[in-house]
């Protein structure tokens, strides 16, 4: 079964709006695990506008499931993750000013850079994952970086799901099948939600993990945190 990693960035965004420690990011991570999440994801950015570097250190102390840290691999980020040693680091090509991740890597253009980073992560016993779109060239060159996994950027799927869900998923199926041929494990994330998640997983049942934050935390406002996590886990059943 595909695993659910809960991205808690939005918890930190709410906390930072008022200062202090309400809501408590560490408590949110503990509760997410207690309610059934099989992983915790964070994406610290240079301006620390949501998850702070200090949060990452505190979370490392308490996360008992898989700890996944996303981010752009500048020196500060790589220094952080090599100290923390999470289970997985997802490399995302977003500039500091980006509101959210909005594209995958051009793995051909950045091949040597990504090879160096994935090698460094592996030396520290961290599983690397590279954020990519469905461009088959990017899948091919991702396989040459030495990464263990890729994460498919699913915003285009989510954007087109309501108009034609089969058409929306087709390019992801093709990309995932190619990745499989290169022995790459596959994660997925960005704008997956209670409407579109199950269809995506049914079409690509070998997805290892989905990382979901914005939609899940938003749904928790309506349905409650525990109930929402259970609803998402239900969507991952095939």
- Each residue's pLDDT tens digit, 79-108: 999 999 999 999 999 866 555 556 799 999
Cβ–Cβ < 8 Å for 160, 167: yes
Task: Check pLDDT > 80 for residue 213.
Answer: yes
Contacts of 34 (CB under 8 A, 6+ apart): none
User: Considering its fold, how many domains does the chain have in total?
Assistant: 1
Cβ–Cβ < 8 Å for 231, 223: yes
Range of the domain at 88: 3-235
Q: What percent of the chain has pLDDT over 70?
A: 97
Query: Average pLDDT for residues 209-234, to the nearest whole number?
Result: 98
- Each residue's pLDDT tens digit, 162-195: 999 999 999 999 999 999 999 999 999 999 999 9
- Each residue's pLDDT tens digit, 32-61: 999 999 999 999 998 899 999 999 999 999
Query: Average pLDDT for residues 207-234, to the nearest whole number?
Result: 98
Task: Check pLDDT > 90 for residue 238.
Answer: no
Q: The domain spanning residue 98 has which CATH number? A: 3.20.20.70
User: In the structure encoding, which two tokens stand for residue 122, read together?
Assistant: 């592996």
For residue 120, count CB atoms less than 10 angstroms from its CB and return exposed for 0-12, middle for 13-18, buried for 19 or more.
Answer: middle
Query: Average pLDDT for residues 23-33, to the nearest whole number?
Result: 98
- Each residue's pLDDT tens digit, 54-86: 999 999 999 999 999 999 999 999 999 999 999
The residue with tokens 């285009």 is 156
User: In the structure encoding, which two tokens stand for residue 193, read together?
Assistant: 């939600």
For residue 22, count CB atoms less than 10 angstroms from its CB and return exposed for 0-12, middle for 13-18, buried for 19 or more.
Answer: exposed
pLDDT of residue 74: 93
At 176 the three-state DSSP class reads helix
- Give catalytic residues, as residue numbers: 43, 70, 190
Cβ–Cβ < 8 Å for 138, 175: no
pLDDT of residue 72: 94
pLDDT of residue 103: 79
**b/e 193-225 (16+ beta carbons within 10 angstroms → b):** bbebbbbbbebbeebbbbbbbbbbbebbeeeeb
């Amino acid at each position: 079964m595909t695993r659910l990693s809960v991205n808690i960035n939005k918890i930190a965004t709410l906390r930072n709006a008022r200062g202090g420690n309400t809501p408590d990011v560490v408590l949110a991570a503990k509760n997410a695990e207690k309610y059934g999440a099989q992983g915790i994801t964070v994406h610290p950015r240079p301006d620390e506008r949501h998850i702070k570097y200090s949060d990452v250190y505190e979370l490392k102390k308490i996360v008992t499931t898989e700890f996944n840290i996303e981010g752009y691999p500048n020196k500060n980020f790589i220094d952080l993750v090599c100290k923390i040693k999470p289970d997985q680091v997802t490399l995302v090509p977003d500039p500091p000013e980006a509101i959210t991740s909005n594209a995958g890597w051009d793995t051909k253009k950045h091949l040597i850079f990504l090879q160096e980073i994935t090698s460094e992560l592996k030396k520290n016993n961290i599983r690397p994952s590279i954020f990519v779109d469905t461009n088959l060239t990017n899948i091919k060159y991702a396989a040459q970086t030495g990464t263990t996994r890729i994460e498919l950027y699913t915003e285009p799927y989510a954007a087109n799901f309501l108009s034609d869900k089969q058409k929306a998923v087709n390019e992801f199926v093709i990309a995932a099948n190619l990745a499989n041929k290169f022995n790459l494990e596959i994660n997925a994330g960005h704008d997956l939600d209670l409407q579109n998640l199950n269809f995506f997983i049914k079409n690509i049942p070998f997805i290892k993990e989905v990382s979901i934050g914005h939609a899940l935390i938003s749904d928790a406002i309506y349905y409650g945190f525990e109930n929402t996590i259970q609803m998402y886990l239900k969507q991952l059943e095939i």
